[in-house]
Structures are given as C-alpha cells and as structure tokens.
Chains A and B, each alone.
Chain A
C-alpha cells in the first residue's frame, strides 16, 4: 500500500482525532463566554438579583402575602422557604405571630385598599410547590455560589415534589460550582440515604462533609455548629442502623458537646454502650 492509497484514511483519522480534542475545548470556551456575558452585563449585582429572586420564592410560598420594604423593619432574616426546609413539620406559632406585619388598618383608605392585594396569611399547598422552582433556578443561575439556593431547592424537589433525580442533578451542579461546600454534600448524603436507600454512599458523603467542615469551620471564631451537629447526628444514626455501634458511639460522643440537650445524647451513648456490652 503506498501513501497515496492510505492518505484519505489517515486524513479521516487525523480529522477525527483533532475533532475529539477541539470539541471539548470549544464547548468549554462557549460555556465560559456565556458566563462572562451574564457577568459582563450584571457584574456583582448578580448576587443582589439572586437574593431578590430567592425572596420571590418566599413570596410565592406565602401566596403573595409578603412584607414590602416598608414593612420589613420587624421581619426576621431567614426566609420561610428556608425555614420550612430546615424544620419540616415544625409548628408555626412564632411564624404566625411574625406574619401579622400589616397590623390594624390606620385609615379608611388602607382598610379599603386591602381588598386589592393579598392581605391574608396563607401558605402554598404542597402540590403548588413547583411554582417556587423557577425562582430557585434563576437565583442559582445568577449566583452559583449561593449554597442555600441548592440545599433549599433540593428539599422542595425531593421532600415535597418527589423529584429525586432533579434534586440530585441540581445538588451536583451546586457541588461542581462549590466543591468545598459541606452543606451541599450533606444534603446529597440525605438524598442518598432517604430517597436512594444507599447507606454506603450516604456515609461516604457525610464523612466527606465532616472533613470539609473541619477544614473550613474548625478554626473560625464562630463556626457553623448546627451543620456539624446535623452531620454527626445523621452519621451516628446511620452507623447504628448498619449495626456499627462503636462508630455510632464515637459520633455521639462528638455530638454531645454541640447538642442543646447533651443529657439526652449522654443517655443515648449509655444505652448503646450497654447494648454493646451484652
């Protein structure tokens, strides 16, 4: 076979090889360019817009009943979509009290005007929770480093809407954008434990989350102790379910100084030690 015969084949092979090299480079460049357009247009104000759109989800959660900037002086910092994600099923007495921001009407115009905007405190039905999703997605697009957006969205997706695949995909997007976020890794662990019933992956993720927490928070003057408490509690529970009582006890011992009720944790440690001794 001379060179003239094999040259078309060689040319095709070379072109294919070159394409495999150039295509990923071109895609990466395109992605970078599309990102920079948003950054170029909005700059750091993207974060402000992201906060605004995240709050918009809170407005929807309350069916439009939400304090304006003039009512917000007495408002708590945490949004209620976040509170719902953090304390699923908890009582709402304090929230009800806080939500009476309108108060009694001061005059007849204000009293009459309440017929024309949402002036009663209600919460969205669980089936309507899908209406929150566009705002979360936009908030994440605008500020990919806003961890809360991913964890709260994952709660609504997997906990309420039963969209486990979408929740996992979104958390993984968040993880790619924030590789050191222990909160996202912890949330992903919850997804694997509760929805995928995959305790070994959940354990790996929570152990990784704990290491990330130690690396970032341990030496801070005010570390995020609540996050560590949650990770340790879930790890202890998982190890107990898997029958590894010594490991469960070890996690509970780390948890005891962080817990608001250390006596209960000590009692649990004692119970497990007794079971181990039998």
Chain B
C-alpha cells in the first residue's frame, strides 16, 4: 500500500502546482459573488437561485478537474518516458494505476472540500441556517461521483490514444448519463425491440451517476436522504470504481508502453 500512496503523493503535488483548480475556484467564486450582489425587487434574502448557480459551477469545475487530471496521468508518464524508471523499481502496473487513482481522488476531494466550504459560507449568509448533515451527504456523494469519473477516465487513458480524445469521450458519456440515465428505461419502452433491448441493457449496465447529483435536494431544502440509501449509493459507487479500475488494470497489463 505504501507504493500507491507514494505515487498518489506525487499526483497531489502535481495538482497543487498546476493552476487548473485555482482558476476554476476563482471563476466559481467571482461568478457567484457577482450574481449574489444582484438585487431582485429589493429583496436581499433570496437564496435558492444563488445556491443553484453556485452548485452548478461547483459541479462543472469538479467534473473538469476530475476528468482532465486523471486523463493525462498515464499518457504523460508514457510521453515523458518516466513510466520506465517508475516500473523498473519494484512497482507493479496495478500500483501505478491504483496510486494514480488515489492521488486524483484525494485531489478531487480536497478541491470539493474547498468548493463546498465556499458554498456553505454563501448559502448560510443568505439563509441564516446551516444544515450540516445535508451538506455532508451532498459532498460525500459528489466525492464518490468524482471517484467513478476518475476511474472511468483512467480506464479511458489506457484505451484511447490521446488524453484529449479520452477527455472528450468521458465528458460526453458522463453528461449523457447525468441527463438521460434516469430515463433510459422509459425511452427503451417506446423503442422497437433491438434498440429497446440495447437501451434496457445500457440502463442496467451503466453507472447511474445521477444518484450522486443531489443538488435539487440541497437547493430546495429537502429533508436528509435516508442513511441506508446514502450508504447503498456509496457502495454502488465503490463497485463501479472497482470495476473500472479492474478493467483498466487488465488493459494496462497488456499495454505496450513503447507506443505513445
């Protein structure tokens, strides 16, 4: 376990040296503060639209950070040829993949904590309330979501040739699942047999990333998610993280590292 942790440490150091997170955080903060300064019909206590915009920006930023950070990890090592000295040490390919995953996931977690701290500050200033447990559930589920996305992008990075194509495909698939995942079974019912069957299959196979998007519950001050459902969703996320990392490892074991 020490080897993956050491590799994860390198990823985290790379994360805070790059400017991606700072730029996205400043953009989110500035846009939220500018929108928050707007007054609608002389009412300064309107909060929900601000929460909605802030959470949307946080989701976009977190998705960009998770995909771009993880998609470049292995291709960059191959391109710089640093993968060879790394694997020359007693480090297995699984250690590299798992270490990269841990690093990216920890970095995404760090970014999410900063983003949600900002969100909590903004929303409690407007609403004068602080539903800590609701925010904790949302942050945790968002972090699990980031884990699934990172493992998916790492799998993509050993399947697709370039980080750009991998990132684009990941964005399309993730946004597609978030928008359509919940409705695929309904669409399948209206389609003729071969397409309907394929859509049903996708509905049961694809990770339902929409489980982790609880923005509406936060925006509209809904009650807490049942803890058992929260725990099952977490296990569901861990299952897909494991599955994507497993598939990535199988592919990575057979990958020729010469071709970049």
Which residue numbers of A lie inside 8 Å of B, CB to CB?
Answer: 60, 63-64, 68, 70, 106-107, 109-110, 112-113, 115-118, 130-131, 133-135, 137, 157, 161, 163, 166, 170
Contact = CB atoms under 8 A, between A and B. Distances in A.
Given A109-B204, A130-B45, A64 B185 contact: no
Contacts, number: 84
Contacts of B217: 64, 116-118
A110 B49 contact: no
5 contacts: A70-B186, A113-B211, A116-B214, A117-B214, A130-B45
B47 interface: yes
Contacts of A131: 46-49
Interface residues of B, number: 37
Interface string B207-231: 0101111101101111001100110
A158 to B, nearest CB: 11
Given A131-B47, A134-B49, A135-B49, A64 B220 contact: yes
A161 B40 CA distance: 13
B208 A106 contact: no
Contacts of B225: 115-116
Contacts of A134: 38, 40, 46, 49
Interface of B is mostly: helix
A115 B229 contact: yes
Contacts of B210: 113, 116-117
- Those 7 A-B pairs whose CB atoms lie nearest each other, nearest first: A115-B229, A64-B220, A64-B216, A166-B41, A134-B49, A63-B220, A70-B183
Nearest to B185: A106
Interface string B228-242: 011011000000000
A68 B189 CA distance: 17
B244 interface: no
A163 B186 CA distance: 44
A68 B184 CA distance: 13
Given A70-B183, A70-B187, A107-B185, A118 B40 contact: no
A118 B215 CA distance: 10
B33 to A, nearest CB: 16
A157 B46 CA distance: 14
